[in-house]
């Protein structure tokens, strides 16, 4: 397996990274995403990448892929015609959701639209008690009659019966009947996706899976067929939202696992880089063409969560569609290079959430875009080089960008064109700063104690301005920053997260049952790792449990001992919970009874990822990489300022420079504001020291 390729489909570009395991050399490439048919852009881009690098497909031992396809399908509401089957009397669970209001003081609050309308939800006469078994048997004949309507009107069916996390025999029977009588229908069982309680979250997770399944299966099928036709015989993996990888066949069975596939790869790469640069606490900032993704890596590991939301309103918890799966905990906002700016009726500049995407793209692309975007503003302000966009492979027009900004914002608001361009940048930077502050404060994190790792096509252009507002001391820009998310695919492990709800007060007798649950989950995990091609001899297992004090509504995750659980472990487990509770809330109550809710395991086979290679020498000079100067706009400097331009490929370790400066490379541009200093470390990373805090001018 001499060569490995990671490729990530974003909203604007599809990124490719190739690593040679023997030499650790990297090659990178960007290709415009084909929004209407993403597989076309993947396959064409891969072919062009092979042509550019001279690599033959026979020499590639592994492909790892991430995509926004599932997420975009949900956001754009263009998935399959989907029906939901649920227990009689529970038709309105997806409609009602949770009683909790995500904004107590908004009188006009709107809940997220359910993915499946009420008219597409069908009640099935069946009922199972969580501890007493079948209450109302499933009538196979009556259910078979219902299927005739399903096959006439729908493409996909989600099945979510009450208490199936505990006993799923009726869900299994219903799926078997559908597969026998209507094999053309796609099906999803809630119990196959999630073994956790809470009916609304589990039902919605099943609905999302069924909604995206046809499109994801067709997409992956097309890519696999094409690779087979080219004679590719290496391994092929997909990135999951949890940060692990699995085979395409596994993802086709449960595509909801890739709902956050692309963004998490960037977080993994940030954790990998942070380990090498000596920052175990790093702030991952990934700004692409459509969105910006923010993740905090604590003690070298991205934080994970068991419930996340798609399509949130204003970054408020409870405002989106809940997905009940283990995912890397991050926030994603509509703030990318393609985010569209305009003049509001109230006389202000607004940016996003709409994006120009890959087609038509920003005005400067010359593909038919008519509304100004963040990329147009960055070009107008002198940060981007119109003659070196994508290394010169793509022409962009600064005059068109200026005309669009003038027409769309400056004239309606009666302001200067460059003031309007700066306003676009300032607003999008403020949006990302606010999102970072909210995400950090909700998790008890102080950004001042973190280093920022900036990547994505637009990330390094905006990172230092945001770091000033957050008081982040250093910004790291890795090599190949524009395609760093794709690079993160190459450091992912084969990994599976399994869980089972079993509600019990903690005592010695309960631990016997808990041990049996762990044994079963670990066996399932080992089989999945082997099926995905992981090395059996290198399997690692971690245990965790969700617990709370009896009577509370929400749980905390607590580390659990491995091996045989017995009475002697009870005191250790209880102390782990009290300590976790104390760290989270500032107090604990050792006299209260603890209740265990959900028991979890992580089973992984580690990937032998290439380490960062040190670059020989430490006496590089910035003057050797200087390409010249151009005017760039910095408000703190009074407007346009003569700014030094550097070629990143010529910046060797040890080189130092002071802003204002712009560092250009093929896939991204790094902007160093006035007063900040930049150096190049032993790995070739750009390290920006933020010398003046709280001054985003």
Tell me how many domains the chain contains.
Answer: 5
pLDDT reported for residue 611: 62
Is 535 a residue whose pLDDT tops 70?
A: no
Domain boundary among 371, 397, 425: 425
Is 527 a residue whose pLDDT tops 80?
A: yes
Please report how many Cα atoms fall inside a 13 Å half-sphere around the Cα of residue 243, on the Cβ side.
Answer: 27
Say yes or no: 125 and 31 in one domain.
Answer: no
d(CA 437, CA 320): 20
pLDDT band at 695 (very low <50, low <70, confident <90, very high): very low
In a domain, 280, yes or no: no
- 108-151, pLDDT tens digit by residue? 777 778 899 999 999 999 999 988 889 999 988 888 888 988 99
Contacts 24+ apart (CB under 8 A), 148-153: 149/122, 150/83, 150/122, 150/178, 150/182, 150/185, 151/181, 151/182, 151/184, 151/185, 153/81, 153/83
**Which of 7-21, 185-199, 421-435, 669-683 has the least mean pLDDT?**
7-21
In a domain, 446, yes or no: no
Could you write out the DSSP letters of every residue in 209-260? HHHHHHHHHHHHHHHHHHHHHTT--SEEEEE-TTSEEE-HHHHHH-GGGGTT
Is 678 a residue whose pLDDT tops 60?
A: yes
**Which of 143-157, 319-333, 446-460 has the least mean pLDDT?**
319-333
pLDDT band at 692 (very low <50, low <70, confident <90, very high): low
Say yes or no: 8 and 86 in one domain.
Answer: no
Say yes or no: 379 and 353 in one domain.
Answer: yes
pLDDT reported for residue 263: 83
- Work out the average pLDDT over 680-689: 91
Is 311 a residue whose pLDDT tops 80?
A: no
Is 99 a residue whose pLDDT tops 80?
A: no
Domain boundary among 381, 397, 425: 425
Is 541 a residue whose pLDDT tops 90?
A: yes
In a domain, 55, yes or no: yes
Say yes or no: 205 and 84 in one domain.
Answer: yes
Higher-confidence position of 272 and 672: 672
d(CA 223, CA 635): 48
Higher-confidence position of 626 and 28: 626
What CATH number did the domain enclosing 53 receive? 3.30.420.40
* CB of 344 closer than 8 Å to CB of 409: no
| Paired sense of beta strands 13-20 and 26-32, if any | antiparallel
What CATH number did the domain enclosing 580 receive? 3.30.1490
- Work out the average pLDDT over 350-361: 84
In a domain, 293, yes or no: no
Say yes or no: 592 and 664 in one domain.
Answer: no
Say yes or no: 584 and 652 in one domain.
Answer: no
Say yes or no: 87 and 188 in one domain.
Answer: yes
**Which of 55-64, 205-214, 608-617 has the least mean pLDDT?**
608-617
Query: What is the percent of the chain with per-residue pLDDT over 70, rounded to a whole number?
Result: 97
Nearest to 688 by CA among 381, 482, 481, 452: 452
- Domain ranges, residue 66: 3-74+228-244
Say yes or no: 68 and 82 in one domain.
Answer: no
pLDDT reported for residue 208: 95
Is 659 a residue whose pLDDT tops 60?
A: yes
In a domain, 104, yes or no: yes
Say yes or no: 206 and 139 in one domain.
Answer: yes
Say yes or no: 525 and 637 in one domain.
Answer: no
Is 305 a residue whose pLDDT tops 80?
A: yes
What CATH number did the domain enclosing 198 receive? 3.40.1360
- 27-48, pLDDT tens digit by residue? 888 888 887 788 888 999 899 9
Is 538 a residue whose pLDDT tops 70?
A: yes
Higher-confidence position of 311 and 539: 539
In a domain, 126, yes or no: yes
- Residue-averaged pLDDT of the chain: 89
Say yes or no: 562 and 667 in one domain.
Answer: no
In a domain, 405, yes or no: yes
pLDDT band at 696 (very low <50, low <70, confident <90, very high): very low
pLDDT band at 697 (very low <50, low <70, confident <90, very high): very low
pLDDT reported for residue 489: 87
d(CA 20, CA 18): 7
* CB of 547 closer than 8 Å to CB of 595: yes
- Work out the average pLDDT over 597-601: 94
pLDDT reported for residue 480: 85
In a domain, 444, yes or no: no
- Work out the average pLDDT over 22-28: 77
pLDDT reported for residue 394: 85
**Which of 29-33, 541-545, 692-696 has the least mean pLDDT?**
692-696
pLDDT reported for residue 452: 93
- Work out the average pLDDT over 285-314: 83
Higher-confidence position of 536 and 99: 99
- Work out the average pLDDT over 376-401: 91
Say yes or no: 212 and 83 in one domain.
Answer: yes
- Single pTM value for the model: 0.84
């Amino acid at each position: 397996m001499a060569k490995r390729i990671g490729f990530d489909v974003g909203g604007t570009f599809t990124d490719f990274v190739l690593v040679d395991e023997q030499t650790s050399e990297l090659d990178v490439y960007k290709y415009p995403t084909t929004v209407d048919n993403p597989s076309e852009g993947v396959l064409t881009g891969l072919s062009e990448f092979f042509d550019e690098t001279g690599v033959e497909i026979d020499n590639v031992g592994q492909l790892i892929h991430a995509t926004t396809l599932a997420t975009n399908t949900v956001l754009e509401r263009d998935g399959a015609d989907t029906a939901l089957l649920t227990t009689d009397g529970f038709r309105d669970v997806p409609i009602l959701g949770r009683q909790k209001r995500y904004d107590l003081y908004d009188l006009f609050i709107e809940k997220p639209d359910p993915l499946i309308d009420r008219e597409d939800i069908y009640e099935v006469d069946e009922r199972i008690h969580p501890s007493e078994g079948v209450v109302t048997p499933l009538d196979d004949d009556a259910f078979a009659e219902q299927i005739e309507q399903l096959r006439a009107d729908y493409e996909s069916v989600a099945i979510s019966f009450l208490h199936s996390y505990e006993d799923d025999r009726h869900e299994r029977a219903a799926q078997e009947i559908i597969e026998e009588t209507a094999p053309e229908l796609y099906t999803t069982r809630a119990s196959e996706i999630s073994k956790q309680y809470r009916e609304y979250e589990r039902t919605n997770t099943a609905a999302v899976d069924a909604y995206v399944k046809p499109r994801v299966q067709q997409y992956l099928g097309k890519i696999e067929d094409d690779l087979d036709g080219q004679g590719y015989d290496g391994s092929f993996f997909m990135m999951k939202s949890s940060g692990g990888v699995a085979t395409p066949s596994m993802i086709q069975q449960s595509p909801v696992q890739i709902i956050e596939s692309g963004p998490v790869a960037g977080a993994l790469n940030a954790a990998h880089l942070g380990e090498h640069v000596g920052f175990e606490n790093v702030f991952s900032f990934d700004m692409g063409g459509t969105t910006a993704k923010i993740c905090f890596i604590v003690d070298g590991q991205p934080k994970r969560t068991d419930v996340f939301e798609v399509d949130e309103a204003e970054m408020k918890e409870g405002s989106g569609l809940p997905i009940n799966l283990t995912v890397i905990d991050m926030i994603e906002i509509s703030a990318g290079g393609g985010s569209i700016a305009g003049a509001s009726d109230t006389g202000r500049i607004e940016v996003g959430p709409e994006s120009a995407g890959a087609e038509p793209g920003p005005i400067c692309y010359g593909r038919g875009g008519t509304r100004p975007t963040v990329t147009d503003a960055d070009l107008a302000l002198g940060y981007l080089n119109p003659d070196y966009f994508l290394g010169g492979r793509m022409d962009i027009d600064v005059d068109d960008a200026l005309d669009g900004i003038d027409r769309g914002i400056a004239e309606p608001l009666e302001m200067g064109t460059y003031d309007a361009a700066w306003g676009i940048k300032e607003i999008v930077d403020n949006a990302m700063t606010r999102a970072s502050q909210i995400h950090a404060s909700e998790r008890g994190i102080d950004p001042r104690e973190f280093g920022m790792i900036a990547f994505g096509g637009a990330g390094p252009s905006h990172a230092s301005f945001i770091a000033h507002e957050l008081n982040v001391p250093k910004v790291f820009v890795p090599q190949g920053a524009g395609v760093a998310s794709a690079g993160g695919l190459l450091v992912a492990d084969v990994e599976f997260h399994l869980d089972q709800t079993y509600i019990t007060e903690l005592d010695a007798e309960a631990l016997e049952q808990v041990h049996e649950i762990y044994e079963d989950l670990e066996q399932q995990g080992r089989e999945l790792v082997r099926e995905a091609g992981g090395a059996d001899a290198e399997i690692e297992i971690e245990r965790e449990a969700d617990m709370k004090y009896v009577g509370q509504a929400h749980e905390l995750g607590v580390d659990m001992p491995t091996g045989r659980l017995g009475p002697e472990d009870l005191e250790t487990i209880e102390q782990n919970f009290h300590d976790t509770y104390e760290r989270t809330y500032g107090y604990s109550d050792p006299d209260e009874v603890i209740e265990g809710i959900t028991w979890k395991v992580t089973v992984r086979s580690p990937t032998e990822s290439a380490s960062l290679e040190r670059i020989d020498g430490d006496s590089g000079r910035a003057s050797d990489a200087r390409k010249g100067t151009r005017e760039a706009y910095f408000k703190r400097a009074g407007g346009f300022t003569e700014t030094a331009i550097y070629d990143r490929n010529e910046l060797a370790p040890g080189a130092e420079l002071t802003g204002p400066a712009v560092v250009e490379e093929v896939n991204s541009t790094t902007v160093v504001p006035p007063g900040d200093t930049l150096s190049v470390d032993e790995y070739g990373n750009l390290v920006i020291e933020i010398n003046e805090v709280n001054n985003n001018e």
